[in-house]
Structure 1
Amino acid sequence: MTDKGSGYSYVDSGPIILPMEEGSILRKNYILTYLIALIGGLCFAFLALPLPWILGPVTLLILYKIKGDHQTQSSLLLRDLAFWLLGIQIGLTFQPDTWTNIGPYLLPYALFSFAIIATSLLFAFVLSKRSAMETKTTLIGSVPGGLSAMIAVSESLQGNTVLVTIFHTIRLVSVLFIIPFAATHWLYMDEPAAAAVETHVEPSGYWTLLIYFLSLTAGYVVKKRIPASLIIIPMLLIGACQTAGIALYPLPSVLFIGAQLMIGVHLGHKIVLKDVIRAGRFCGYFFALALLLISLSFLLGFLLSEWTEMGLTTAILSLAPGGLIEMALTAQDAGANPAIVSSLQTIRLLIIVLVMPFLLEWFFNKPKRMNIKN
């Protein structure tokens, strides 16, 4: 039955919003979400807070969703384009000696990264034994890897994906609001080679825009095979051009600000504090784990800087259990070396995403294999 006055179609289960009306509501949510994000970015930029165009939108969108039952929306297309632009931005910070510079850091960095991962897994294993939580969900929820990658791992191993999402959200929020603030206010130092080399491009340099679009195409082609390909592929391709001395056309900085804003919208849309509260007392455990990993990254960062003579801020941000983009952008703001931070964070990301799923699958399927043999 249709009520012409109200614009709703009625069935036995109640009112159903018509497709046209639903589309109108959706467009309104999109516009409102990005407007709120822009206001948040402007406020944080005015207050000179760290990562204003990411943390500003995240903060304001979370507050917006807390009050009432407000809905937000995030465009996957804009998110992907933002990943691509930020991959380019990070790649442009590379210098001719960047690849050579990270060589001496690989062994100690790998050792300290494994120490952080092992600590998180040990914490999760003990927690699962002392609480009613399932071991599988606890372990997947504690690995300091990307949120989307760990959700995929949880679904493939049949863990509790809702709890995994909540636990990684707690870590993400903790890292986003603690690490950038500490790096920019307490650890700031103008380290050598921290700033990107200025590239003077002649008019003929416009052809290098093709390289940017090539990196986008390549990122999409291998999207299902390489984690975070829309960031990693442009970063590596543009970084390779920079180190080879190819003068790329400099993109307007407003594009990179817009990309950060899109990432802020994406994170602010995904983070739902009601879900965090719903997880109850377990949230406290994983918040404690986030603080432990952050403290450990500071300690091991200090040891890494002493061992390798890497700048202290660069070392801490390279080991921090946060996202590649956020830590690389923080490195720029904190006077560290974003090229080294992004390179080492990429290595850690690949280790976690490519190795951890197989390790966890082997661990959880081991009892089944033993039963079959018996």
Structure 2
Amino acid sequence: MFSDLRALVPKLPGLLFLLLLGLAGALSARTLGLPIPFLLGSLVFVATYAIVTFARTGSRPWYPKPLRTTFIAVIGVLIGSTFKADMAGELPRIWITILAMVPFVFAAHAIGYGIFRHIGRYDPVTATYAAMPGGLIEAVSLGEKAGGDVETLSIQHFLRIVIVVVTIPTLFYLWTGEAVGSAAGQHLNAAPVEVTDWLLIATLALVGGVAGIKLRLPAGHMIGPLALTATLQATGVVNISGPAILLNGAQLVVGVGLGATFARTTLRHLLSCLGLGILVVTVLLGLGFGIATLLAPFSPMPFEAVLISFAPGGVTEMGLIALSLGVSPVLVAAHHLFRISFTVTVISILARRATPQ
């Protein structure tokens, strides 16, 4: 244990540099009035550094997974804290958009496969798993077992999430003409934040994160804290006031982590994957826009929330965007949890049937 700690110490300056670089990007983005600046600004600055560093030295920035996981659990708590008792009555009313997620997943996968197979010239296995509209870790794992290109799968799914994270807030900005999220000074709660709130958030993040992982929930390190907090909040057991500085800090940590991942590839391969990723996401967002336009009048969720619910991003990132935009983050997260769970279940069944016994 002590040897592990000693090995960790020399890496800390590099980690501190990444966080400071991410903070510089966040503050720059906020100065420019960009949407969710602590997420996007840190992502862009660190991704640029990671790509340049890898191209020149072949080394990748060290970024500890537990740090990102910890703050993802905190994001789960912050999202769960927005769940109020009166929202429980709305849950049965979202069945129509939840059911619509089934044809959306099949259509999204078919579209993605067509683009990756016929335009990107991916082999059939890589195209199949690259087109999964959810489940980054599961897609890469299943694709590797099936003989797909692991590096391409990792990059393509990562870019899918990043492109959505960048696109959705930008579309809202262009649509409304106003900055959104923390760029607009939005706070989770106007009530004063007490020391007990910090301790309660930490406790719920720890307990919920462990429970989510033990129960093997999809994105359990986030869904566990989210479900636990939402339940306690809705029943009146707790009343959390989420500090805005914690939301900004969580965005920063997640953004830096996403940016550091860009070091996995060469610039040429990245640009090739980026072009295909932009094409796939553009088509899927168009599909999601059509569904949101059709179903929003029959849903308790506003059009913006339905649109975000059908955006093919990660649970954490989409929940964070919904939280920043203030549009039904719990209900949005429920849709993404269903999308990812359904996608992984269907692909897993198909993979088992395709594997010789």
Query: Which bin holds the TM-score, normalised by the shorter protein?
Result: 0.7 to 0.9
Which amino acid in structure 2 is aligned with residue 168 of structure 1? H
Instruction: State how far apart, in whole Å, the 2-side matches of 1:77 and 1:187 are.
Output: 37
Kindly indicate whether residue 220 of structure 2 is the aligned counterpart of residue 232 of structure 1: no
Distance 1:21 1:214 in 2: 30
Counterpart-to-counterpart distance in 2, 1:67 and 1:207: 41
- 1:36 is aligned, of 21, 31, 37, to 21
TM-score (normalizing by structure 2): 0.83
Equivalent residue of 1:145, what SS?
A: coil
Please, which of 141, 151, 155 is the counterpart of residue 130 of structure 2? Answer: 141
- Select the residue among 136, 146, 154 that pairs with 1:165: 154
Corresponding residue for 2:346? Answer: 356
Provide the residue aligned with 1:216 in structure 2. 206
Shift of 1:314: 0.9
The reply on whether 1:310 has 2:301 as its aligned counterpart is: yes
In structure 1, stretches of 5+ residues that fail to align are 1-18, 370-374
C-alpha change, 1:248 and 1:308, in structure 2 (3 Å) is: closer
Q: Is this contact kept in 1: 2:30–2:37, CA < 8 A?
A: yes
In structure 2, the residue matched to 1:321 is 312
CA distance in 2, matches of 1:84, 1:145: 19
Structure 2: 5+ residue runs without aligned partners? 181-185
> Do 1:105 and 1:308's aligned partners in 2 also have CA atoms closer than 8 Å?
yes
Question: Contact conserved, 1:40 with 1:59, CA < 8 A, in 2?
Answer: yes
Aligned residue among 339, 344, 349 for 2:335: 344
**Cα deviation digits, residues 341-361 of structure 1 (max 9, x gap):** 1222222232223x1342331
The offset of 1:272, in angstroms, is 3.8
Q: Deviations over 1:300-328 (max 9, x none)?
A: 11112033353110110111111223223
Structure 2 counterpart of 1:115, one-letter code: P
Q: Secondary structure at the match of 2:82?
A: coil
Q: Could you tell me which amino acid in structure 1 is paired with residue 84 of structure 2?
A: Q
Q: Is the contact made by 1:195 and 1:335 (CA closer than 8 Å) also made in structure 2?
A: no
Q: Deviations over 1:248-300 (max 9, x none)?
A: 34353322221221111110111248446326756533431121111111111
Q: Which residue of 2 aligns with 1:119?
A: 107
The alpha carbon displacement at 1:127 in A equals: 4.7
Give TM-score, length-normalised by structure 1: 0.79
| Structure possessing the higher radius of gyration over alpha carbons | 1
Q: Residues 128 and 62 (structure 1 numbering): CA distance in 2 closer, same or farther, change over 3 Å?
A: closer
Cα distance, 1:335 vs structure 2: 4.2
**Alignment: residue pair count:** 342
* Partner in structure 2 of residue 54 of structure 1: 39
Q: Which amino acid aligns with 2:130?
A: G
Q: 1:237 to 1:309 in 2, by over 3 A?
A: closer
Partner residue of 1:97 out of 79, 86, 93: 86
Q: Taking structure 1 as reference, are residues 24 and 105 closer, same or farther at Cα in structure 2, changes over 3 Å only? A: closer
Q: RCO higher in 1 or 2 (8 Å CA, sep ≥ 6)?
A: 2
CA–CA distance in structure 2, aligned partners of residues 83 and 254 of structure 1? 15
Query: Which amino acid is 2:148 matched to?
Result: G
Distance 2:249 2:307 in 1: 27
Q: Which amino acid in the other structure matches residue 299 of structure 2?
A: T
User: What percentage of aligned pairs have identical amino acids?
Assistant: 24
1:40–1:60 contact (8 Å) kept in structure 2: yes
Change in Cα spacing, 1:184 to 1:308, as seen in structure 2 (3 Å) is same
Equivalent residue for 1:267, pick from 258, 266, 274: 258
Q: 1:364 to 1:285 in 2, by over 3 A?
A: farther
The answer to whether the 8 A contact 1:59-1:268 is kept is: yes
Q: CA deviation at 1:47?
A: 2.1
**Residues 303, 363 of structure 1: alpha-carbon distance in 2 compared, 3 angstrom cutoff:** farther
